[in-house]
Structure 1
Amino acid sequence: MMSQGPGLITYQSRSFFSYPIQITCRTLKSSQSAHHFSLMTPAKPKQIHLRLPPPKSDQTHQYKPQAKNQDDGIPIDDVKIIAKFKTRHNYIRVLEVSRRADHPFAGSRLLLLDSPGNIHSISFLFKSLTNTYFDVFATLPPILPPGPVGILGFGAGSTARLMLELYPELIIHGWELDPSVIAVGREYFGLGRLEKQYPDRLCIYIGNALKASIKNRFAGILVDLFCKGSLIPELQDANTWQKLRKRLRKGGRIMVNVGGSCVEAEDERREGKVVMEETLKAMHRVFGDKLFVLNLGSRKDDSSLALTGELAVPDLDAWKKALPPSFKGYVDMWVPFHG
């Protein structure tokens, strides 16, 4: 969420690493044009933390924290808002962070949706890895049967970009409800280039992701569905997971961003941790002991991912071998969900 405080702005992300993004100085207020901004006086201090711990791995290619203190912010001179407008479904903002910034987001573009300001996509100019939950999503293909992957909640394509680069045979079908989000992805996040580069491997659809289906079903499904700053209510219904499971091939799996305490919804009654727990319980009613959770931090404002299917020791070892070195540690972070 974009929170206003004395000399800072904080943006909430769904399940990022352990650095608060605090844009220091003043709050940004839009003027008559959606692309021009004036400054106003801030109010109501609040901080939202973005966290994803580095994977536990013996590999040398691990994420290394920046030298800058994690409580420091990004100077306003290092941040530029390059798009800001409202659509039927979203309040869209595109933020660009200077490469000069002493912060883990330096050199990135961020896609913020909804009034709370959840970060739905991130891209860097000179690197593919994001050190966010999008990297965890990209570990899924090696443990899937052959076949296409569905991304429900496509955003600007952060997960798709990683997966297309890592897995040369993979075909992706992505669903996004708001056509303006796809348009922003094409204009500001290189999605148009990605579509031209992989015309036979990337298909994007505008519409309700919960109705997503393809001929012969999916090998895997990634679920990243938020609305008004919260997991959509359908995900707390076991019937939703029954329907999604039926769209999987034999041996197929689902990986889900289930949010958590760090997620702040527009509706105060949709408290992030409670909604996460309700979602996991609904999944557990369908998948039973074949449900695992990866926690993205160690503090009270954590969030998590969920994964369906079996995870036996031989499978874990094979999974690690199929992943890039910087991803191997994520395999060890999954634990069974016991309801």
Structure 2
Amino acid sequence: MMLGGQGQRLIISHPFPITCYTVKSSHSLHHFSLKVPGRPKLVHLPLASSRSDQTHQYKPQTKTQDDGIPIDDVKVIAKFKTRHNYIRVLQVSRSADHPFAGSRLLLLDSPGNIHSISFLFKSLTNTYFDVFATLPPILPPGPVGILGFGAGSAARLMLELYPELRIHGWELDPSVVEVGREYFGLEKLEKQYPDRLYIYIGNALKASIRNGFAGILVDLFCKGSLIPELQDPTTWQKLRKSLRKGGRIMVNVGGSCVEAEDERRNGKMVMEETLKAMHRVFGDKLFVLNLGNGKDDDSSLALTGELAVSDLDAWKKKLPRSLKGYVDMWAAYQDS
């Protein structure tokens, strides 16, 4: 597999997407937006123009995820197209004044949605992958399936947190898995957990395992949008049948923060259609966790199964302190 662009600096000639907002450029600032389809906090990375181009009119404030990263602190280390994706791997400098400092990011599709993130010295990502990692404690014994494996961000965190957990991941594009192995430590992870991590190349919606899954994580996007099959109740009926008794499904359903290549696939509209399809199958056993800060950056996850108030404390006790807060963010789905 050929990986182009390794070691090249990011050159700005036009706005290039980097977060949940599409931000317009100005004469003194080039904005990029790395779309993160689902994340606990707004991950807003407008990239400031090169330091040599900055003027006194622009005073960068890069203390939070809402602020930008100077272009000089971001490097493209891989960029190429495959049958299924436009793949880019970005490296954020450890010296960047930003929460994503030292991270490596996997971007797929033309809008540039983030599909994997890793840090050299910490496991938590402060993105929706951390919410995914809260699922195992409320599952029956058995393996977890990840539909839309990416470079393995969710798998890495769960394997570290839950020593008995086995994960089976499906990814349609073999090049994404190869990028994970080369740039995101996936090869090392496979060697470290040979009996706990299994990766398959193929259609995730055909995933199956003997005796069923204890839980399923669904993170299926194509061309910057949730795949159309997820707006079909039949898909959720099939996925429910692939669960063991008491099993659950957690889904990244995106939202208005997700930018699709097809303008007709509005992120919020597709999210709502997906939740309605799930509601037809799971009824009142459907919960939503909203990660956005407003109507323009709405982003959510969905969870199936019983979730009584009395269960929340028990769930929290099984989680590390850094993840406990997500438990209280779930609310029963209300069909509008």
TM range (shorter): 0.7 to 0.9
Aligned to 1:31: none
Q: What code does the residue aligned with 1:308 have?
A: T
Distance 1:325 1:69 in 2: 21
Once the two structures are superposed, residues 166-221 of structure 1 have per-residue CA deviations (whole angstroms, 9 ceiling, x without a partner) of 00000000000000000000000000000000000000000000000011100000
SS at match of 1:214: coil
Distance 1:159 1:263 in 2: 19
Aligned to 1:11: 34
Is 1:20–2:44 an aligned residue pair?
Answer: yes
Q: How does 1:1-339 map to 2 (within 5 A)?
A: 1-2=17-18, 5-6=25-26, 7-8=29-30, 9-16=32-39, 17-25=41-49, 68=63, 71-300=66-295, 301-339=297-335
Aligned to 1:52: none
- Which segment drifts farther, 68-77 or 303-312? 68-77
Identity %, equivalent residues: 81
SS at match of 1:10: coil
Aligned to 2:58: none
Deviation at 1:10, TM superposition (A): 2.2
Q: What code does the residue aligned with 2:25 have?
A: G
Unaligned runs of 5+ in 1: 27-40, 42-65
SS at match of 1:5: coil
Distance 1:76 1:86 in 2: 23
Deviation at 1:24, TM superposition (A): 1.8
Distance 2:117 2:279 in 1: 30
Q: What code does the residue aligned with 1:203 have?
A: Y
Distance 1:158 1:212 in 2: 19
Distance 2:43 2:126 in 1: 11
Deviation at 1:148, TM superposition (A): 0.1
Distance 1:276 1:142 in 2: 26
SS at match of 1:111: strand
Deviation at 1:77, TM superposition (A): 1.2
Unaligned runs of 5+ in 2: 1-16, 54-60
Q: Conserved in 1, the CA contact under 8 Å of 2:65 and 2:100?
A: no
Aligned length: 301
Deviation at 1:71, TM superposition (A): 4.9
Q: Conserved in 1, the CA contact under 8 Å of 2:214 and 2:243?
A: yes
Distance 2:229 2:283 in 1: 19
Higher strand share: 1
TM-score by length of 1: 0.86
Q: Conserved in 1, the CA contact under 8 Å of 2:216 and 2:249?
A: yes
TM-score by length of 2: 0.87
Of structures 1 and 2, the one with the larger relative CO (CA 8 A, separation 6+) is 1
Q: 1:243 to 1:273 in 2, by over 3 A?
A: same
